[in-house]
Structure 1
Amino acid sequence: IVARWGTSVRRGALLHPALSFNTSRCQNVSSTDGTVHPAAAQGAGPYRDSVLLPRTEFPMKLTGQNLIDREVQIQQECGFAELYSWQRERKAKKEYCLHDGPPYANGDPHVGHALNKILKDIQNRFEMLRGKQVHYVPGWDCHGLPIELKALGELGTSGLSPLQIRQKAREFAEGAIARQRAAFQRWGVMADWDKCYYTFDGTYEAAQLKVFQDMHSKGLIYQDYKPVFWSPSSRTALAEAELEYNPQHVSKAIYATFALATLPPKMAEAVGELGSISVLVWTTQPWTIPANQAVCFMPNAQYSVVKRRDSSQLLLVATEHINIVMSLCHFLFPSPPPGTELEGGVCQHPTIPRKEVPLLPANFVTMGKGTGLVHTAPAHGMEDYSVASHFKLSVECIVDEEGRFTELAGPELQSLSVMGEGNDAVISMLKAVGSLVKEEECVHSYPYDWRSKEPVVIRPSKQWFIDIASLKDKAKEVLAKVRVIPESARGSLLAHLDRRPYWCISRQRSWGVPIPVFYHKETGEPLINKHTVSHVTQLFSEKGSDCWWELPLESLLPPEVLKKVSHLNYERGDDVLDIWFDSGTSWAAVLEDSRADVYVEGKDQIGGWFQSSLLTSVAVQKRAPYKALMIHDFVISEKGEKMSKSLGNVVDPDTVIHGGEDPSVSPAYGVDVLRWWVAESNVFSEVQIGPNVLNSARDSINKLRNTLKFLLGNLQGFDPRTQAVDPKEMHYIDQYLLHLLRNYSMKMTDAYNDFGAGRAIRLLQAFITRDLSKFYFSIIKDRLYCDPEDSLGRRSCQTVLEEILDGVTRSIAPILPHLAEEVYLHAPGHNEGETMFRSGWIKSSPVWRRPGLEEAVEGACAIRDSFLSSIPGRNAAEYELTIEIEPGLLFELIESLQDEPTSSYSQLTELMMSSQTTLTSALPRDLPADALISNGSFLINLEGGVIREDSAYQVAAVPTSMARCPRCRRYTSSSPDCPCPRCQTILTRAQ
């Protein structure tokens, strides 16, 4: 047979549910979990020692301290610590670079770290096994306010110099790094842990400043006075990525009126003698009304005049919003003017006498909530500021760094908190002058400082910015060429780019990389150019950024600048760079001129590290720093709750591994259970963890261990280097398993290539359950236990078992490195000192793909299924079969499994699990009356369906007249006390 045949039969239901694995086998056998079957202890009698039962020292399961000790021992014996350096030194045709996003050095390791680091390690180990040279340098994000705050604790910054603050922050960060690094090593993460990157290292800071200089020289970094997100609780500007949006924030929303001091010319003609009209605005931030400079409308919308129900006041609102205000007003003006007719109108400011503000068109006005008319305070709103820039409006800040009104807000408001009593005071002022129409509570999403968990305000400040608008189009262009996993996250990446007009990169703190700028003492003009930045960069590289405060000013300025200006006229800047600029330039410090194959981080980095890395790289290199992004979700409790200490649902990875105080409540699961949990989870949605999930992972690993123990036990004394059988000489069922193993290995490779560790686990479990335990293992045990030790049939079987063991072990190695190395230490055919991770990926062979082989075996399995369905609940081994197949392709296929017309020891009989099998083209006419007849057909497709043959067959099952062999327990003996011919021969040879 030279062509590959197709089949309509699945292998999923080869055993009848009522049959146990040993129904056609010697009772002296082992179950698939490696334990000796109970019958083996009593049923074999004097022949027990002649049965080749599994033997191995590989433990079925490890628990408690034995498990912990064994994992640590394996890490030491198998050189986990040296593996990364070894693979970097070997020759490889390709490099695989996974760039590590720096975890924040402000706390202990948690399950979020475990999810991220283990995901990365699974991929790195797979790529290394595939022969690539892996580039993976772990790093830490070491600057920023959370570290500064935790380091100082209750001391605060009072009375401390910047250098004292930085020293305490550095010590705190170093302690957190040490704890996290130890945990990552314990989790088996492959890296050179002596060569990590840290954003507080001088060499890293210097690389960061080179990017800063490049971007500044291109005009992409500039200083300006414009609104930024400001955290009163932290007293610093924030970037979009440093915000958390609280969807349950409660604001006091108001409807307020601005009287039209001057009607728009076109509108004045239309309304005639209606009288005075006020515009109605709605806002959730009443405190910003004292800073109002305009009221904006949508040019393409329609507007109507309505009358208040509680007074005669006339109000202008968007026609589309009339239903919203109908409880307050009733409809009056029948022919609504378009927004374009509102131009030229002027409003009276409600709380500031004699101040007038214009009606202005603005496309950001939407018809979602409100009245279609937007109160506009350029100093305290991003979109408001864009209107001010276009129409040259004043941008005066009325809020200080602590979030309190300044004297510009007036004596009634000065020093009041804008998010508290100041907000209430403004509402009272509006009510006093008759401008307040309605007050209500509004629950909505509002930005909070991600560190202090307190609400932020928008206020103008003189800061350093990156011009995102100039980079956005190129960023989108290069992002289109980046593979995004999952693809559904691409929209979020683009959305974050779209809603970010600029990036504020200056922070008013001490713990960070100083912005290398000097200010004139009198004019405040900044001194910054390629000479000053290059000089400071070199100093940082040599001395670290502490030198910004340690060295005198004349040492910080380069000689060529000092020739032109006096250092006495300047002072160094106090601001430091945003930590997202810190981490976003890691490509420059770690990757040098190469691009990473992938960045792997949580979804919070969509607006964070992924974006800051993209923007800085596009600015300098005109390309993305990564070829692919893999974006995972967050870890939650089993109940679907966010983890918090107050709820008591925090899962500590160290407790998962080593167990808690009460082992019955918190058992020691070991590292591989933690890694299995990561791999098995759908990481693209919220990842649950808890006792049920961990117990399930442990049980799955124990089931896998049992299968591996069965394989190892049956390979005792077998050396594949000298005793392996050539595939062409193997039994067909063995060749067929090699064929399945090859398919399995290719699917596993594809799964890992697609970051599909979960799919890899499902493939593993399906292969073990369906192809091995329920099919192959149940068929081969007689041959494996009862054939002569060095027979071709048994060696053929062992050859396949060794290939299966090797393939399965390698396929799970990226996920379970400790178990894989433990198996490798027990597996045959290796020299002392060899380790699995230094020996490569699954070694399948194209030779295992045999045309016609699949169809021969699966055709026989289809016939067996028909036979088993005719004897529900009974033992297949107690029957003799006669199989009738009409002459044709199927007959030829099945005939290849049995040389003689009738046999008790053929491959066909082995597959049928029967006492004896006869293959014929016609059933005999003298079948006994108790014969059970079943029939079916098997579809064969030849050459992709060009030739199709649907072959019919019949199976006659007759209770056997043979006795049960006292050695192998098959019904192949002439009398109950006499071994069958096969067993007699074996026993005779043994004497």
Structure 2
Amino acid sequence: MLLLRRSAVGLGGVARWGLRCLCSGDAAGRYRNTVLLPRTDFPMRVNGPNLLEREIQQKCGFDQLYKWQREKKAKKEYCLHDGPPYANGDPHVGHALNKILKDIRNRFEVLRGRQVHYVPGWDCHGLPIELKALGDLGTNELTPLQIRQKAREFAESAISRQRAAFQRWGVMAHWENCYYTFDGKYEAAQLKVFQDMHNKGLIYQDYKPVFWSPSSRTALAEAELEYNPEHVSRALYITFPLLTLPAKLAAKAESWGHVSALIWTTQPWTIPANQAVCYMPKVQYSLVKRADNEQLLLVASERISSLASVLKTNLESLDTFTGSDLEGGVCQHPTIPAKQAPLLPANHVTMTKGTGLVHTAPAHGMEDYGVATHFNLPVECIVDEEGRFTELAGPELQKKSVMTEGNATVISMLQAVGAIVKEEDCVHSYPYDWRTKQPVVIRASKQWFINTASLNDKAKDALKKVRVIPESARSSLLAMLDRRTYWCISRQRSWGVPIPVFYHKETGEPLLNKHSVTHIANVFSEKGSDSWWTEPLETFLTPEVLQKSKAGAVSDYVRGEDVLDIWFDSGASWAAVLPESDPRADSYVEGKDQVGGWFQSSLLTSVAVRNKAPYKTLVVHGFAVSEKGEKMSKSIGNVIDPDVVINGGKDLSVSPPYGADVLRWWVAESNVFSEVQIGPNTLNAAKDSINKLRNTLRFLLGNLQGFDPRSQAVDPKQMHYVDQYMLHVLREFSMKVTDAYSEFDNGRVIRLLQSFITRDLSNFYFSIIKDRLYCDPEDSLGRRSCQTVLEEILDGVSRSIAPVLPHLAEEVYLHAPGHDEGDTLFRSGWIKTSSVWRRPGLEEAVEGACAIRDSFLSSIPGCNAAKYELIISIEPGLFFELIESLQEEPTSTCSQLTELMMTSRTTLTSSLPLDLPSDAVTSTGNFLINLEGGMIREESSYSVAAMPTSLSRCPRCRRYTSDEPDCLCPRCKTVLENAK
């Protein structure tokens, strides 16, 4: 079947709402009041959208919708688990993008009859809240309990502001039943996950290097880092003199003389903590001599050329050997005379930068720690919690910041002993604390960890069963999993869920088992986690717990002071929030920053406890940015406040009030899987699009005045063919819209809607039916047939856009015919279509007529089709029979075929007459009929002759169908006679 375009002709689309009476002049004036023009009090534009939307929310029970649908019986449930926004500030457009995107899907599911499970939540713990809560106090002399109280108050205030904004945006939820990570019952569920993972040996305590934020004075997880690509470090090439020659090279090295291993580092402050120099066993190494000073250096062979360029001298290779030949060699530490550094093999050594020999400080590097574990090297941390050297670094360095003056002092010490071969600035990517925006260090400390390496394969297998939208995000998820071999979950702060552990006063051994954690969880569920500080130790270490733990007396133990990483807090939300029957959500919908955050922590905890992902589908959206593509920043001044978008700013001429639906349209229309731009241009475009939509809806409502579909609707089989065809088109449209919503493709919904309105309605159907609507008898079959379809279209369009524009949809529903007072759209279901509407043969007939009309219009460019009459010639066959169904008599001024052609008169024949007038314009074409899946295929040719009509314009309907000037046409004359 060929789907052909439908041209815009005649009176045009709904843009001409201010249409004057179809009669004009003295003759027309007599019939002005007999024409049934559209009438409605539905406004074309809305002034003060804020007030109207609030009225609609109240009148249509927005706040009761979630509760209503939860109480309604439904065959299926749809669960969208809300990723908790952080309770540390005012709502912003990022919140709007995320919450509205979720709400569009939830409202769609409610409309289609599913029971939606959606519990909004907030992430309430963590350092940013703690710091903001304490920021105005100007003192650090607070107890943990006082800090927690201030942080809770701050979080609750932020939650209140955010919740009010979400409600104003029309987000559907039971707002009195949200989840909060500081709630006692939530914390108890979280500890149950912690206990299950500990029982399986996945949680352990260890002394190893972790990312450490001196500015926050706490350990950080990988997900809490952001990398600054413009960080500048002072990079050094440093010599480690060779004290003991490798055994395999001893014979040939007798003549070498004084040789030094050359290393490169961007962190000179770690040199005092050096324990070894590592090489790659299977790589070639060389002894080279500098041309400028004859210094002998040991380096990787493939780095010689680059090093010569850096050092600005020629490097002569004196000998070459395999890395494994370096085994047994020992170097002198450059600044600590009594300390030696063995040459050791390691697979983490790379040849992309540096010298091919790597300085190794086990307490201050992840890979370095692995080498120390394998070769039993000391792991001595020389940096304290504030990022300053400890006494282990020596009196010259003690108490100096390792990132500033301490680093400079180490460089001076190296210069003093002549160990620096080259010093340069190095611009490179470096980890920063995502909260304080300050650089972090790596330092060894005693922390609690999750062994994520043992979960990696299970997590990847679980992800195979998860649908990822867009699919391209899957590789990022897998890459993030590979990067995390362990997860540090302990934090040295007060505001959070305490790690449920006790330590023996003398041995330091932790007391942590299923008996102790279960009891602590019960206490937290009843009294909250503040009880960790308010209750005596006996509340937690009861005689029963001590007995089952085979522990000593209560007095032998002290409480742990660390709290859990907030990613563990939120990552356990599936256990605290999702339905117990199947704690697995249909969808998780969050920004791309959660690929290494909540998506991952939720996956790891769920896989650890129950071997499956907590979600069936992951939707990963982009960030909101300015219209220039810039990240929003207060310093740049490009921040868009959603409250100003809705209510307007101080200067309404610059920042007008758009209302919530404009904000929602912006979300729906955007490609949310990339960066989403917002600004005056996008908002004005959204407002204009909604106004155009209102115009269409107003046209529909205006022509349904006085029509009751419950008693006056026409059966599809009795309708005009073009009306039946429009039901067919509406059914196709509704199915495509349903599919698009199901795919989280709201942009496609908008495109389908706009195409349907412009192409199928304004430029085609509305242009054709206006004469029948305005000039046929009010109760005629033809007019009621048309109104029946208009009501179905109004209903279908309203429901199709309702998930995106709930306020507009309910406003239309308040004006629409066919339902009782108090009914609301969202309580009445999705688009109602019928399989009866699918009429393939009918579709071919109308599409064929459209093809003929296109040929006719292309032959009279710029002319008024209404002033022409047509002779259509089709060779006998199936196509002739289909077109004949639109016009039974040979010639007619009021047939369905004439209506489709929008001409004065149409004649249907099997061949054009030979005596065509001289001013006739002819055109030809072909149309392919394709029915029953290709079983019936027939291509037919047609000819069209168009000539100026000999008929006069009727003063009532303005069609050229009258036999005499200023006289009524037969149709209008009959209408008026019957109206008397």
TM category (shorter chain) comes to: over 0.9
**CA deviation map 1:297-320 (0-9, x unaligned):** 222322233322431112222222
Contact (CA 8 Å) 2:662, 2:687: kept in 1 or not?
yes
SS at match of 1:852: helix
Partner of 2:158: 176
Partner of 2:328: 344
SS at match of 1:49: helix
SS at match of 2:96: helix
1:503 lines up with 2:493 in the alignment? no
Contact (CA 8 Å) 2:22, 2:958: kept in 1 or not?
no
**CA deviation map 1:680-701 (0-9, x unaligned):** 1111111111111100000000
Task: Between 861-870 and 306-315, report the one with greater CA deviation.
Answer: 306-315
Partner of 2:577: 590
Partner of 1:573: 560
Contact (CA 8 Å) 2:287, 2:319: kept in 1 or not?
no
Contact (CA 8 Å) 1:531, 1:558: kept in 2 or not?
no
Alignment partner of 1:117 out of 89, 99, 106:
99
Contact (CA 8 Å) 2:22, 2:956: kept in 1 or not?
no
1:21 lines up with 2:11 in the alignment? yes
Contact (CA 8 Å) 1:519, 1:525: kept in 2 or not?
yes
TM-score (norm 1): 0.96
Task: Between 221-230 and 310-319, report the one with greater CA deviation.
Answer: 310-319
Contact (CA 8 Å) 2:291, 2:316: kept in 1 or not?
no
Partner of 1:151: 133
Partner of 2:293: 311
Q: How many residues align?
A: 971
Alignment partner of 2:342 out of 355, 358, 371:
358
Flag structure 2 segments of 5+ consecutive residues without an equivalent: none
Note closer, same or farther for the CA distance 1:725–1:34 as it changes in structure 2 (3 Å cut): farther
CA–CA separation in structure 1 for the residues paired with 2:303 and 2:685: 55
1:290 partner amino acid: P
Contact (CA 8 Å) 2:78, 2:115: kept in 1 or not?
yes
Residue 270 of structure 1, CA deviation: 5.4
Counting only pairs closer than 5 Å after superposition, residues 29-428 of structure 1 correspond to structure 2 as 32-33=14-15, 35-38=17-20, 40=22, 42-43=24-25, 44-64=28-48, 67-155=49-137, 158-269=140-251, 273-327=255-309, 328=311, 329-333=313-317, 336-428=320-412
SS at match of 2:237: strand
Residue 277 of structure 1, CA deviation: 2.5
1:162 partner amino acid: P
SS at match of 1:147: helix
CA–CA separation in structure 2 for the residues paired with 1:501 and 1:46: 87
Counting only pairs closer than 5 Å after superposition, residues 816-831 of structure 1 correspond to structure 2 as 816-831=805-820
SS at match of 1:750: helix
Partner of 1:455: 439
Note closer, same or farther for the CA distance 1:900–1:402 as it changes in structure 2 (3 Å cut): same
Residue 624 of structure 1, CA deviation: 0.8
Residue 431 of structure 1, CA deviation: 1.8
**CA deviation map 1:901-930 (0-9, x unaligned):** 111111111111111111111110110111
**CA deviation map 1:305-359 (0-9, x unaligned):** 3322431112222222223212224242276323222222222211111322122
**CA deviation map 1:800-827 (0-9, x unaligned):** 1100000000000000000000000000
1:567 partner amino acid: V
Contact (CA 8 Å) 1:40, 1:48: kept in 2 or not?
yes
Contact (CA 8 Å) 2:775, 2:972: kept in 1 or not?
yes
Residue 205 of structure 1, CA deviation: 0.8
1:257 partner amino acid: T
SS at match of 1:244: strand
2:912 partner amino acid: L
**CA deviation map 1:274-293 (0-9, x unaligned):** 43322222111111111111
SS at match of 2:30: helix
Partner of 1:713: 702
Contact (CA 8 Å) 1:143, 1:512: kept in 2 or not?
yes
Contact (CA 8 Å) 1:866, 1:955: kept in 2 or not?
yes
Residue 473 of structure 1, CA deviation: 1.2
2:553 partner amino acid: S
Counting only pairs closer than 5 Å after superposition, residues 825-864 of structure 1 correspond to structure 2 as 825-864=814-853
Partner of 1:906: 895
1:279 partner amino acid: A
Contact (CA 8 Å) 1:915, 1:972: kept in 2 or not?
yes
Contact (CA 8 Å) 1:378, 1:388: kept in 2 or not?
yes
Contact (CA 8 Å) 1:34, 1:709: kept in 2 or not?
no
CA–CA separation in structure 2 for the residues paired with 1:275 and 1:899: 112
CA–CA separation in structure 2 for the residues paired with 1:675 and 1:636: 16
SS at match of 2:148: helix
Task: Between 147-156 and 126-135, report the one with greater CA deviation.
Answer: 147-156
SS at match of 2:132: helix
**CA deviation map 1:423-457 (0-9, x unaligned):** 11112222222221111111111111111111110
Counting only pairs closer than 5 Å after superposition, residues 628-639 of structure 1 correspond to structure 2 as 628-639=617-628
Residue 418 of structure 1, CA deviation: 0.7
Residue 779 of structure 1, CA deviation: 1.0
CA–CA separation in structure 2 for the residues paired with 1:652 and 1:20: 45
Task: Between 475-484 and 527-536, report the one with greater CA deviation.
Answer: 527-536
Partner of 2:630: 641
Contact (CA 8 Å) 1:21, 1:774: kept in 2 or not?
no
Contact (CA 8 Å) 1:149, 1:156: kept in 2 or not?
no
CA–CA separation in structure 1 for the residues paired with 2:462 and 2:628: 40
Contact (CA 8 Å) 2:4, 2:850: kept in 1 or not?
no
Partner of 1:482: 466
CA–CA separation in structure 2 for the residues paired with 1:885 and 1:109: 65
1:758 lines up with 2:750 in the alignment? no
Partner of 1:25: none
SS at match of 2:42: coil
Task: Between 617-626 and 425-434, report the one with greater CA deviation.
Answer: 425-434
Residue 39 of structure 1, CA deviation: 5.6
Contact (CA 8 Å) 1:116, 1:602: kept in 2 or not?
yes
Residue 948 of structure 1, CA deviation: 3.3
Partner of 1:955: 944
Task: Between 154-163 and 955-964, report the one with greater CA deviation.
Answer: 154-163
CA–CA separation in structure 2 for the residues paired with 1:904 and 1:175: 71
SS at match of 2:215: coil
Residue 269 of structure 1, CA deviation: 4.8
Note closer, same or farther for the CA distance 1:432–1:982 as it changes in structure 2 (3 Å cut): same
Flag structure 1 segments of 5+ consecutive residues without an equivalent: 1-5, 23-30
Identity across aligned pairs (percent)?
Answer: 76
Residue 10 of structure 1, CA deviation: 2.2
Residue 944 of structure 1, CA deviation: 3.6
Partner of 1:884: 873
CA–CA separation in structure 2 for the residues paired with 1:825 and 1:480: 46
CA–CA separation in structure 2 for the residues paired with 1:42 and 1:576: 82
1:288 partner amino acid: T
Residue 42 of structure 1, CA deviation: 4.4
Counting only pairs closer than 5 Å after superposition, residues 925-944 of structure 1 correspond to structure 2 as 925-944=914-933
CA–CA separation in structure 2 for the residues paired with 1:687 and 1:469: 35
Partner of 1:866: 855
- Greater relative CO (CA pairs within 8 A, separation 6+): 1
Residue 178 of structure 1, CA deviation: 0.6
Partner of 1:27: none
Contact (CA 8 Å) 1:967, 1:983: kept in 2 or not?
yes
Alignment partner of 2:884 out of 895, 904, 912:
895
TM-score (norm 2): 0.97
2:841 partner amino acid: G
Partner of 1:26: none
SS at match of 1:413: coil
Partner of 2:520: 536
SS at match of 1:336: strand
CA–CA separation in structure 1 for the residues paired with 2:136 and 2:706: 68
Partner of 1:979: 968
**CA deviation map 1:477-519 (0-9, x unaligned):** 1111111111111111111111111111111111111111111
Contact (CA 8 Å) 2:288, 2:318: kept in 1 or not?
no
Task: Between 228-237 and 436-445, report the one with greater CA deviation.
Answer: 436-445
Residue 466 of structure 1, CA deviation: 0.8
